Amino acid sequence: MADPTSSRKLEHINISLNKDVQFKATNQFENVLLFPKKSKRTAQPEADISTLFLGKKTGAPIFISAMTGGHEKTFQINKNLAEAADEFNIPMGLGSQRAMIEHSNLAYTYDVKKYYDIILLGNIGIAQLANYRPSQIERMLDDVRADALCVHTNPAQEIAQPEGNLGFKNAFANLKSLAEVIDYKVIVKEVGNGISKEVAEKIGRTKVYGIDTGGAGGTNWIAIELFRNSSHDMDFIKEWGIPTAQSLIEIKSVFKRFVTATGGIRTGSDVVKAIALGADSCGIAMPMLKANKNGSKGIKQHLAKLIEEIKYEMALLNCASIDDLKSLKFAINDPLSNILKQRNINMHYSR
Ligand SMILES: Cc1cc2nc3c(=O)[nH]c(=O)nc-3n(C[C@H](O)[C@H](O)[C@H](O)COP(=O)(O)O)c2cc1C
């Protein structure tokens, strides 16, 4: 019989490719307004968009967010994603590596560094930390030569999943002690329901290196799980979550380390706004999977277009570099502004 972790990954991919599983609500970046720099730097899309990620220079302020591995059919997807990441010198995330801890013969489905020298992010679920020793997790990262570990937290998805793991009781303590002992940088990420200021503050008291918003407004995991089992009546939480722009501002207001924005990042405008608000980079998941219908060529075309959009946006904003973007004045429209005020979020944080 097929391993449940491994076949679940395949089901997720098939649903993602064939059903409408995007949030109806937006990521709220439409309520972020940027004002061009005064001095005219350029009208050409020629900005230098290179930036640092985990202290290493990358070609653009974007990365391919965690998706897959763990089933033989996912190997080629990961390899295509890695080929495109290599071409543009951007980082790439692996999907949960739980399957390779449980079945070492599946490790090859994640082992893209065998072919491409890219910045690679390992991945495991926070609820899984109770089941594995730090040495097992380190070994899992060593085996794929990862550059950091992403720990995903996904309580809403687990609730919507009929076989979901609701054992989050010691999850935070497990995360805290893992970050203390492991020889890898740890990044905490959501999968599409966002991270709040309160959670970011708590993470700030640990040795965790960075946070990814994984905010609402893009791929909706509750919708994906409901397609897997429509008899599981969970429609009431379908639109639950903190929109990516709000989550980014909440995190940045209290957490002074590495922050990335993921969740419905679809256009150059989304990227430019997130970077201007202080994100170090932006993650993109679902559009990469869809672009893979045309293989690595499709992914490269998608990335090339996104990078071109980023450069045109920057030309309009008179920005020649990522530092220029981070110095832009911005305004926040309602309803986002109203929510941030009611939540007492400081919008004047250092970027
Ligand atoms: C098919 C698919 C599989 C995913 N698997 C994982 C995973 O294993 N681990 C994880 O941390 N996030 C996973 N994600 C979540 C993404 O990394 C990302 O946070 C989320 O999809 C929001 O980004 P998007 O709106 O650009 O898709 C997955 C996303 C997709 C579309």
pLDDT digits (tens, 9 = 90+) for 215-266: 999 999 988 988 887 666 777 888 899 999 999 999 999 999 999 999 999 9
210: phi then psi, degrees, rounded to nearest 5: -155, 170
* 188-207: pLDDT as tens digits: 999 999 999 999 999 999 99
Establish whether residue 189 lines the binding site of ligand 1, counting it when its CB lies within 6 angstroms of any ligand atom. Answer: yes
- Six-digit token pair at 154? 């996904």
Report the phi/psi class of residue 230: left, alpha or beta, with left for phi > 0 and alpha for psi in -120 to 50.
Answer: alpha
| 3-class DSSP string for 44-64 | CCCCECCEEECCEEECCCEEE
CB 221 within 8 A of CB 192: yes
- How many beta carbons lie within 10 A of that of residue 107, not counting itself? 17
161/224 Cα distance (integer angstroms): 9
Mutate to test the pocket of ligand 1, among 286, 288, 289, 306 (most ligand atoms within 8 A of CB): 286
Residue 2 has pLDDT above 70, yes or no: no
**21 CA distance to ligand 1 middle (Å):** 12
**284 CA distance to ligand 1 middle (Å):** 8
Looking from the CA of residue 284, the nearest atom of ligand 1 is: 26
Domain 4-342 has CATH 3.40.50.300: no
Residue 4 has pLDDT above 80, yes or no: no
Looking from the CA of residue 13, the nearest atom of ligand 1 is: 1
230/32 Cα distance (integer angstroms): 36
Helices (H), 19-95: 75-88
CB 150 within 8 A of CB 122: yes
